[in-house]
Every structure is written in structure tokens, then in C-alpha cells.
Amino acid sequence: MAQISFQLKSQDVLILLKIVSLRQEPWNQKSIAFSLKMSQSEISQSLTRLEYCNLMSKSEKIVLKSAFFDFLVYGVAYVFPQKPGALVKGVPTAHSGPPLDKEFTSEEQYVWPYAKGTLRGQSIQPLYATVPEVVDTTSLFYEMLCLVDVLRIGKSREKKIAIAELKRKMFDE
């Protein structure tokens, strides 16, 4: 029997963001797996890790939002750090994507590398490989992913605004 590692993986953050973005919509492992192009076993293992780390109640199917928010604000940049890479075509992220793209005007554009992308910018590796192809660029999920990328690579002022916006999106239902 394979032993489960209880160390968080980047897809765990992605899964929690997906669940939070659904608000009160019902979900199951199969629907999350399909929407993120992951296997159901990956989702199951992730939910087990998340429960172990006190970021979710697997039995009640709820994200422990306060703990998750604290992890995003204080930990995500250290656990899943990122540095901007080469110029590539891709999907806008961080301050180049919503909701901060209207707030900041910068010559530095950040993107998740993706051949069908709409913007040329410095590459940022997404939390999971399928992100650029599964994200709907008009969704709350996409906005929250962009805000998390600001926490991973942004400057102090950008991070401060991203934290306030992320808090509003996570807790204002």
C-alpha cells in the first residue's frame, strides 16, 4: 500500500481556490477533477492532505477559509516561490490579469506560458500544469489565481492590494 505524503503540493492550493470559487455550489471529486483536468485519485489524495493540514474539512466538504487565507498571505510565496522567466506568449496572471490589471499599469507583463495565450510577457509557472488551459478568464477562480500569483511574485504595494482583494473575494459571499 502506497503511503500518502502529508506535505502540501501546489495543486492543493489550486483545488482549494476552485472550491472557494464555487461559493455554495455543490461539488464532488469527479467534478473538480474534470474541471481541473486531474485524476480523481489526485483530488482524493489532495483532500486528505488538506484535511491533515487543517485547511479543509473533507467530511463536511468545506474549506477552512481563515486558515487558508492565512496560508496564502503568509506562506504561499515561501512554499511555492516563483521568479519571472523568459518572454513567452501566454495567459495573463498576477497584476497583468484581473482584477489588478486595471489597478496597475506596468511594462512588465506576467503570463502563464500557453501557446493559445493572448499576451506576451515574462513567464510565471502556474501552480499546476493544466491551469492555462482550464481557466475561464472571466471567472472568480481565475481572478483568485491571479491574486495568488501577486502574492508569489509581487512587490509590497501590489501584495497589499492583492491581499485586500483576495480577502474580499474569499469572505464576501
Per residue in 126-151, pLDDT (tens digit) is 999 999 999 998 899 999 999 999 99
Task: For residue 167, give the C-alpha cell.
Answer: 480577502
* DSSP 8-state symbol, 137: T
Nearest to 13 by CA among 98, 85, 75: 75
Residue 103: per-residue pLDDT: 84
Contact status, residue 95 vs residue 103, Cβ threshold 8 Å: yes
Count Cβ atoms below 10 Å from residue 89 Cβ, excluding itself: 15
Strand locations in 8-165 (E): 56-57, 62-63, 87-92, 110-113, 119-123
Least confident of 1-5, 31-35, 56-60, 80-84: 1-5
Q: Per residue in 36-50, is it b (16+ CB within 10 Å) or e — as a string?
A: bebeeebbebbbebb
Percent of the chain with pLDDT over 70: 97
Cα–Cα distance between 60 and 103 in angstroms, integer?
37
| pLDDT exceeds 90 at position 173 | no
Residue 95: per-residue pLDDT: 94
| Arithmetic mean of pLDDT over the chain | 93
The whole-model pTM stands at: 0.94
Per residue in 82-128, pLDDT (tens digit) is 999 999 999 999 999 999 998 887 788 999 999 999 999 999 999 99
Contact status, residue 120 vs residue 84, Cβ threshold 8 Å: no
| pLDDT exceeds 60 at position 1 | no
Confidence of residue 51 (pLDDT cuts 50, 70, 90): very high
Residue 52: per-residue pLDDT: 95
Confidence of residue 5 (pLDDT cuts 50, 70, 90): confident
Average pLDDT over residues 29-50: 95
